[in-house]
Structures are given as C-alpha cells and as structure tokens.
Structure 1
Amino acid sequence: MDRAELAGFLRSRRERISPADVGLPAGPRRRTPGLRREEVAHLAFISTEYYTRLEQARGPRPSREVLAGLARALRLSDAEREHLHLLAGAPPGPAPGPSREVRQSILDLVHRLPQSAAFVTSATLEVLAWNELAAALMEDFSALSRRDRNLARRVFLGPPSGGRRLYGVSDAEAFARHAARRLRTTAARYPDDPEVSVLIRELRTGSEEFARLWDSHDVDVEPTLRKTFRHPLVGPITVNCDALELTDRDQQVVIYTAVPGTPSGEALRLLSVIGTQRMDAGH
C-alpha cells in the first residue's frame, strides 16, 4: 500500500467533482474546490474520520468494500478504479457495477452519423450518449436527469405522452420484454451493485408488467430488426435497428436508420432539420 500516493490521488479526485455532479446543493461559498471530505465519506458510506486519515496518508489499508464505495463516490473511470486498488495494495476484482464511461472513439462515432439516430446504453439501459437525431426522434435527453434517462424506467413507469408509450414505437411490448430480460442478466452480473438493486426493486414495485416478466426468469434477448415510431410532428417513421455490443464496457451502441428515398427516409431527414426545436413547438 502506497499511503502517500493514495492520499494524493483521493484528494485530486475529490477536488475535481462539484456538488452538482453528485446531486448535492452548492451551499455557501467553499474555501476549496470540489467536494468536502465529509461529503465523500457520506457518499462512500464510511466515517469522515476514516476518510480524513486516508487523505492524510495515515489510514489503514482499506477493504475492497471501502474501495468500491470510494470509486462510486468519486465517480472514477475504470482505469482510475484500477489505479485506486493498486495504490491500496488490493488488485481489483470484477467491476462492482455497470460502466457509465463511454469511450471517446464511440462518442465520436455516434456524432458522425448525421443521417442516423444513434445512442449508447449501459447494462441497465441508461442512455449514456446520443446524437441530435436520436434526441429529435425520441426525446431531448439533455433536458432529463440521469435517473429519467433510463429506458427501462421509461417503458415501465413513464406516463404515456399523447397516448404514445415509449415514444410511440410499434414494439413497446417487445422492448419491455427485452428490458426485463436484459436487467435479469445485469443483476446476475453485478449482484453487489446498489443502483442495479434499487432499479429492479423500483420496477417490481411500480409495474405489474415488469414483476410478471421478472418472475418468468427469461434471459434470452431477441433482436429487433425494424420498428416504427409514431412521431407527433413528422408522422410514422420506420427504421432499421442495429445494436453493436461493446463487451469491454457492457454497453450497446444502438443505431436507427431509414431506407433512403422512402417516406420514412424523408421523414427522418426532415426531423434532422427540425431537431429538438420541436420541444417548443406546442408551447
């Protein structure tokens, strides 16, 4: 265990995070950047005294549970999480929860597909990244909290908009089955992740449909090759669906394309021009 390096690393990661990043109020003017030590300790479920000793290079070797809590509290990337474990003298085991860090090359890919609606989802079906056309076709994800960007919550708990379930897609029920099956696999893969447990408990409590699908114990996921969106401004848009698996991050890149020259192709092209300005069209 390298106490001095561990202390410096923890301090540097703490100082780069703003209270807003973790859902805390900014409060009165702060003397130092980032979070306070007591805030990190609270988020990591450890005592402030223990965390302070770690930052002062005089704490005992932290357990794997403490390291996992610190990694979540400090929003560490996979590389940073591994570095934290190595500094603490405890080589990392399997990832404690689904990765939310999207590779820069994937972000670039998503934004280089102007004629396609593309987005990235985590193992819990949280939308992590998207391009402008995906926002125009589905909804403006930038206007939503992280919690509300979860497609499983959207299909099972989200209220229909204008009578349209899940953006008016033709396969909403099939997607619901897909979501339940994927979350069952995710729960088995990350049994100790509290966010996964909370999500599943919330869905089982709030949706009879999810509870029924969950209790079926099905895990086979059938691919969707085509679906139709009933868009409120440009009408029906039939798209081809492709999903690229990012196995190292347990993520998916989902790409929707329409056949050029068809009414759906023209509708999607028009939507790319209108963009998310439609959000204000009816107000």
Structure 2
Amino acid sequence: MDRAELADFLRRCRTRLDPAAVGLVVGSRRRTPGLRREEAAGLTGASVDHYTRLEQGRGSRPSRQMLAALARALRLTEDERDHLFHLAGEEPPRTGTGPAQHVRPGLLMILDRLHDAPAHVYSDRGELLAQNALATALTGEADPGHNVIRAWFTGPTARRLYPPEDHAAQSLTHVAQLRAVSAARPDDPQLLALVRELRSASKEFDTLWTEHRVAMRRAERKRFLHPVVGLLELGCEVLLTADCGQRLVVHTAEPGSESYERLRLLRVVGLQELGADGPPDAPGDLSPSR
C-alpha cells in the first residue's frame, strides 16, 4: 500500500469534484474548490476521522468495500477506480461473468439530479449499487452491495415497507427475474451461490423457483407503506444499461395525486424521522386508513 500516493490521489479527486454534481447544495462560504472532507466522508458512509486519516496518509489499509465506496463517492472512472485499488495494494475488481459493480459517473450524475424522484441503481443479481437521497428517505439506508432479493426472502424487516397483500406478487417478480438472469449467465458463480442459498433458506423461494416462471422487471406500479408519510402509490420505471447488467430504477408519483403530495413531504422530512435501523415495525400515525 502506497499511503502517500493514495492520500494525494484522494485529495485531488475530492477537490476537483463539483459539489453540485453529487447533489449537494452549494453555499456561498466555500473558500476552496471541490468537496469538503466531511462531504466526501458522508458520501462513502465512512466517519470523517477515518476519511481524514486516509487523506493524511495515516489511515489503515482500506477494505475492498471501502475502496468501492470511495470510487462511487468521488465519481471515478473505471481507470481511476483501478488506480485507486492498486495504490491500496489491492487487485481491481474484474467483471468476468456477471454485472460490473462500478457505477459509471454518468449514471451517478443522472441519479444525483433526480431530486424529486426516489432512484436506485441495482445489479441484475439484486445488489444495491447506489441510491439518491430521496430513495434513502423512502426505503431506508443500506450498504452498497446489499442484496434486495436476499433481504426479501431471508431478512426480518424487508417486507415491512410494503402492504401485505402485495407480498406474493413482489416475491414472484424477484424470483422470475432471477430465473431470467440465471439462464442468461449460467456460469456466474455469485449468481449460482445466491440461488443455492435462497433455495436452502426460504421455502417460499424454493417453491417459486420450481415453478420456473420468467420475467424481467420493467415498468410497473408499486405501493410503499412509509412509517412517516403513509401509503405511496408510485410508478416504477426500470432503465437498463447497454449491457443490461445494471438497472436504474426510478419511482414517480402522478402530479396532483395524494401520493405526489406525500412524496413532496417525504423530500422535506428526509431521514429525520427514520431510525438508524430503517423503518419501524408498523407505519406511524400519518398512515392513511385503508
């Protein structure tokens, strides 16, 4: 690990990044260009102290997960990401089989500009790669790489955000999409391992898997039971990257609708009413009667 070169590279990448390009409000008191250290730390999910130590060449060797988070936060190209990994003494991720885990800066720029629409970037295996602030306010904070399909079938809280009567359709959509992806990439070891894990851990998943239904998620409507603003009925548009390995999922509400007003309220409330562990067991008092 070359601490001095890593520190220099991080500083230069941070200072050349336009705050507006990552969705931050630009104030009038900025005396230096680029992001502040605390802003860069926030985008990576690291503490300010940990990030500062990396920039000062005093930090411990960053994990591969941390390096991937730094690459996303600083909007690095694939070549710059590889350089970052090399400076840290790590081999860069290789695509091989399966979708690339590095979200291109252009796609992240689109994500950041969707201020009034919750938006996520997923791999076709169901891994969360990035999300904007409103998506975090809607579904809760999750670490990059969090697999929504695994969480749906094995996690204790993933279904709390959706009306119970929608659970069966959501389960079928997850499995049918994973079926389609597994047929397209039968030699993907991570995909094979995920299917084996879920068939063993979830009877529901195993039953749906044996039905052999196939469907790729595209446009649909989804309902969310948010603990602060209540029921949201949102359109869901799925935009594929050129190689179809990553998906930009955007949720929108019809202007003038009750869901539209609640989404506007959610944008104001943000994460203030959400606990650190995400949505609570049941919606709060603002949930509508159903």
Give the TM-score normalised by structure 1.
0.63
CA separation of 1:250 and 1:200: change in aligned 2, threshold 3 A: same
Q: How far apart, CA to CA, are the structure 2 residues paired with 1:105 and 1:266? A: 30
CA deviation after TM superposition for structure 1 residue 124, in Å: 0.2
CA separation of 1:222 and 1:34: change in aligned 2, threshold 3 A: closer
The AA in structure 1 aligned to 2:208 is L
**Aligned mate of 1:172, from 167, 170, 186:** 167
Counterpart of 2:17? none
The AA in structure 2 aligned to 1:98 is P
RMSD between aligned alpha carbons? 3.1
Query: Is 2:277 aligned against 1:277?
Result: no
Q: How far apart, CA to CA, are the structure 2 residues paired with 1:140 and 1:252? A: 19
Query: Is 2:116 aligned against 1:115?
Result: yes
Counterpart of 1:137? 138
Secondary structure in structure 2 of the residue aligned to 1:173: helix
**Aligned mate of 2:63, from 20, 24, 43:** 20
Q: How far apart, CA to CA, are the structure 2 residues paired with 1:103 and 1:126? A: 16
CA deviation after TM superposition for structure 1 residue 18, in Å: 4.5
Runs of 4+ off more than 6 Å: none
CA deviation after TM superposition for structure 1 residue 166, in Å: 5.3
Q: How many residues align?
A: 203
Instruction: Look at both structures and tell me which one has the larger radius of gyration over its CA atoms.
Output: 1
Q: How far apart, CA to CA, are the structure 2 residues paired with 1:197 and 1:220? A: 18
Q: How far apart, CA to CA, are the structure 2 residues paired with 1:222 and 1:105? A: 23
Query: Is 2:157 aligned against 1:157?
Result: no
The AA in structure 1 aligned to 2:112 is H
Check whether the contact 1:18–1:33 (CA below 8 A) recurs between aligned residues: no
Q: Deviations over 1:203-248 (max 9, x none)?
A: 1111111101111122134645212111111111111111112132
Counterpart of 1:236? 231
Q: How far apart, CA to CA, are the structure 2 residues paired with 1:218 and 1:240? A: 23
Q: Give identity over the alignment, percent.
A: 36
Counterpart of 1:75? 93
Q: How far apart, CA to CA, are the structure 1 residues paired with 2:122 and 2:183? A: 18
Structure 2, unmatched stretches of 5+, are: 1-5, 11-59, 67-85, 281-290
CA separation of 1:198 and 1:174: change in aligned 2, threshold 3 A: same
Check whether the contact 1:135–1:276 (CA below 8 A) recurs between aligned residues: yes
Q: How does 1:208-223 map to 2 (within 5 A)?
A: 208-221=203-216, 223=218
**Aligned mate of 2:222, from 221, 224, 227:** 227
Counterpart of 1:245? 240
Q: How does 1:182-201 map to 2 (within 5 A)?
A: 182-201=177-196
CA separation of 1:19 and 1:195: change in aligned 2, threshold 3 A: farther
Check whether the contact 1:99–1:249 (CA below 8 A) recurs between aligned residues: no
Q: How far apart, CA to CA, are the structure 2 residues paired with 1:222 and 1:254? A: 10
Counterpart of 1:84? none
The AA in structure 2 aligned to 1:21 is R
The AA in structure 1 aligned to 2:99 is P
The AA in structure 1 aligned to 2:227 is P
